[in-house]
Amino acid sequence: MSRRLDIERIRNIGIIAHVDAGKTTLTEEVLFHTGHIHAIGTIKAGSTTTDSHPLEQKRGITILAAAVTCEWQGHRIHLIDTPGHVDFTIEVERSLRVLDGAVVVLDGVAGVEPQTETVWRQADRHRVPRIVFVNKLDRPGADFARCVRDVATRLRARPVPVVWPLYDGPGEEELIGVVDLVERRSIVWRGDGPSRDKTGAPVVTPLEKLSDNLQTAHNQILEVCADEDPAILEAYVAGRKVAPDALWAALRRATARGRIAPVYAGSAFKHRGVEPLLDGVVALLPSPRDRGAVEAADGVEHREADVAAPLAALAFKVVFDEHGQLTFVRVYSGTLEKGMYVLAPRSGKKVRVGRIVQLVAEKRIEVDALGAGEIGAVIGLAVAGGETLCSPDAPIVLETIRAPEPVMRIALEAKTADGRDKLGIALGRMVAADPSLRLETSAETGQTLLAGMGQLHLEIAVERLLSEHRVAVATGEPLVAYRSTLRRAVRTTYRHVKQTGGPGQRADVTIELAPGEPGSGITFEDRIKGGALTREYIRGVESGIREAAERGLFGGGYPVVDVRATLLDGAMHSNDSSELAFHIAGTLAFRQAADEAAPCVLEPVMSLEVVCPEEHVGTVVGDVLRRGGKMLGIDVRGDDRAVRAEVPLAESFGYANALSAMTHGRGRFTLEPARYEQVPEGRARALMM
């Protein structure tokens, strides 16, 4: 695997999906067919390659994104298996940041589910081309055509089936293979298990004639390809056959440009459809060179995907184990070599590159270098996640990775004196490895608070404190991460004067606070004219405003968000002014203005989807309304019904047990952050005290 491949033969892909769609099972099949494992593990037995963490095996879910490197048809595939649960969305976010393509897995019965929509939007934001794999088509109620329609209606994409499932048996209930619509051939698997010898190879049969529905699907491919290639358009209009190679080339261009989402079919658990999917990854998803030059954070400088270019790489994830820090790296240009010194421009440090490895989950395969387009890891590299690594002679700063804001927090306290000494270090490492976790201090009690994306996220964090860091902690009840904002514009002038025995402090500022766009945080604008304040003092005002906003309003210290702060005027004293004085003035001016700007409390509102039998729909809807939720609709999902709603996070605690009781254990739900909204007046009064 250590041999250097042409960059055109590299594929950096992720497997993304809703929880339980079959991502890890599919990854296990990929590793088997590419020769990296000789027996396929199962989630039930806790023996899969990528879900290697003890907590993943205990809970039967993916918690940490796992990277594997394998080869197929002369191409190297760097594959990242990501979690499906929304609480671990940071793992998907930072994976998509460095990938060139993705495989979106759908449950053939459930179709497009809530987290599918979330990861699809994340891929849209990073402009990552996708192919879709409709999995579990061996199950009763699976419907490939409905899943394709879901991709069009719920994901607003243009799905193009490249294969179609093939069934056999008395009621055509047994999935035996797929029809390749580009090559016009059937691919049929025999037996119940995979094998690399001839007995396990699928039977491939050319098809002279397609059924009406398959011919319609083939014509859709021709139409898509005609849009990409004038020669195909001419042949299509004239009724001439088009060579499969020309169709594959046109489909590749359309996929790389994000115009279509090719759709594959199969069942990873039943070993059906994996080889055609791997062929599709190689044939349709882009290479690093196809993705073009990487852009600097300032949008000015670019680096081409070429080993001869200066080094530009991104440390997109760090993990800690008994050997120290392991830093995951994507190289965009140049070569990252063992023993070389690189610049970490955000911190301003030069660091030496130690051992470099490529990963197959927990297995580490040492290599001497990673070239442009490669993904690997460096052992012992002391940099933060999101840091750029570049040549000291050709510095560049790449866009970092932005973590979502947490919506829930818990208080932590070590149970032993020894644990108190270790807790700070353990939490520091966990937050460095998972930036969607945040450390806070309670303004009222001084307790340490750990904030995260949800109850499961925080439960896992507490379990990892014990299992990985040997720190047992007591926890308080989950708390909602409320925020605050301002509802009207206010202008205020504040004079800060403090006289002491020596030089005093003096700073005059006039600021305006006004409501900002949702999601904008705190924006600062300087409108100082005529040099009334120096740049140093303006920086002091801005830092003071941001500190005051972070400390928050009301008794709970709810951070202030979505506010525009404008510095309009100021005055400085030749002897007594300083950056500190203007920092204090900015802080106190913000508080003074905020008190007059109709402040209010914001709470996280969650998107809730409950899938349950029809007879329980009324009970579920009634419970949603009792919790102060808002109904969005009810969809048919096979034999079940999907209730879509929005509920305040504060009213969702303990929902798993409540739903189990309401539906006699037959309901399942997905809860994910939607947005922040103003707390209704009745509850707000208690929160504002």
- Backbone φ and ψ for 447, nearest 5 degrees, come out as -70, 155
Q: What is the mean pLDDT of residues 356-364?
A: 78
Q: What percent of the chain has pLDDT over 90?
A: 57
**Class for domain 7-284, per CATH?**
alpha beta
Those residues with Cβ within 8 angstroms of residue 260's Cβ, 6 or more apart along the chain or in another chain: 157, 158, 159, 160, 224, 251, 254
Residues of the chain within CATH 2.40.30.10 domain(s) are 298-390
pLDDT bin (cut points 50, 70, 90) of residue 199 is: low
Write the DSSP string, 183-226.
TTEEEE--SSS--SSGGGSPEEEE-SS--HHHHHHHHHHHHHHH
Cα gap 21→42, rounded to integer Å? 14
Q: Bigger pLDDT: 48 or 67? A: 67
Output the pLDDT for position 519.
84
Neighbour count for residue 252 (Cβ, 10 Å): 20
CATH 3.30.230.10 domain extents, the chain? 484-597
- Is the pLDDT at 586 greater than 90? The verdict is yes
Q: How many CB atoms lie within 10 A of CB 558?
A: 25
pLDDT band at 576 (very low <50, low <70, confident <90, very high): confident
> Which of 56-65, 174-183, 244-253, 521-530 is least confident?
56-65
Would you tell me how many other CB atoms lie within 10 Å of the CB of residue 527?
A: 11
| pLDDT above 70 (res 319) | yes
pLDDT confidence of residue 215: 94
Calculate the dihedral angle through the C-alpha atoms of 436, 516, 97, 671, rounding to the nearest 10 degrees: 50
How far is it, in rounded angstroms, from Cα 88 to Cα 59?
A: 14
Q: Looking at residue 671, what is its pLDDT?
A: 86
For residue 459, count CB atoms less than 10 angstroms from its CB and return exposed for 0-12, middle for 13-18, buried for 19 or more.
middle
Neighbours of 265 (CB within 10 A): 29
At 362 the three-state DSSP class reads coil
Three-state secondary structure call for residue 585: helix
**Closest of 388, 387, 386, 366 to residue 377, by C-alpha:** 366
Assess whether pLDDT exceeds 90 at residue 360. Answer: no
CATH number for domain 484-597, candidates 3.40.190.170, 3.30.230.10, 3.30.420.10, 3.40.50.800: 3.30.230.10
The CA distance from 313 to 330, in Å, is 6
For the ranges 240-244, 321-325, 565-569, the lowest mean pLDDT is seen at 321-325
Average pLDDT over every residue of 75-84: 86
- Tell me the mean pLDDT in the region 2-22: 84
φ/ψ region of 372 (left if φ > 0, alpha if ψ in -120 to 50, else beta) reads: beta
88-120 residue pLDDT tens: 888 888 888 999 999 999 999 989 988 899 899
Residue 131 confidence class, pLDDT cut points 50, 70, 90: very high
Q: Where does CATH 3.40.50.300 sit in the chain?
A: 7-284
Question: What is the Cα–Cα distance from 259 to 250, expressed in whole angstroms?
Answer: 11
Q: Which CATH superfamily is domain 408-481 in?
A: Elongation Factor G (Translational Gtpase), domain 3 (3.30.70.870)
What is the reported pLDDT for 511?
96
Per DSSP (E only), the strands in 63-151 are 66-72, 75-81, 101-107, 130-135
Q: Is the pTM of this model over 0.85?
A: no
Mean pLDDT, all residues of the chain? 89
pLDDT band per the 50, 70, 90 thresholds, residue 531: confident
**pLDDT tens-digit profile of 421-442?**
889 889 998 898 888 999 888 7
CA distance 538 to 373: 42
Distance CA 425, CA 560 (A): 29
Residue pair 83/92 in contact by the 8 Å Cβ criterion = yes
Report DSSP letters for 295-306, one per residue.
Answer: EBTTSS-EE-S-
Residue 391 confidence (pLDDT): 94
Distance CA 667, CA 661 (A): 9
The answer to whether residue 358 scores a pLDDT higher than 50 is yes
The whole-number pLDDT of residue 57 equals 65
- Residue 370 reports pLDDT greater than 60: yes
pLDDT tens-digit map of 386-424:
999 999 999 999 998 888 888 899 999 989 888 888 898
Q: What is the pLDDT of residue 530?
A: 81
- Rounded to whole angstroms, the Cα distance separating 310 from 542 reads 36
What's the confidence (pLDDT) of residue 154? 92
Partners of residue 375 on adjacent β-strands:
330
Domain formed by 602-687, architecture? 2-Layer Sandwich (3.30)
The pLDDT-based confidence of 500 (bands split at 50, 70, 90) is: low
Residue 1: the pLDDT is 45
- Quote the pLDDT of residue 560: 95
The CATH 3.30.70.240 portion of the chain extends over: 602-687
Say yes or no to pLDDT of 352 above 60: yes
Task: Describe the crossing of helices 212-228 and 244-256 by its angle, rounded to 10 degrees.
Answer: 70
Region 463-475 average pLDDT: 89
**Each residue of 615-670: pLDDT tens digit?**
999 999 999 999 999 999 998 877 789 999 999 999 988 888 899 999 998 898 88
User: How far is residue 544's CA from residue 538's CA, in Å, rounded to a whole number?
Assistant: 10
Q: Which fold has domain 298-390?
A: Elongation Factor Tu (Ef-tu); domain 3 (2.40.30)
648 three-class SS: strand
Share of the chain above pLDDT 70, in %: 93
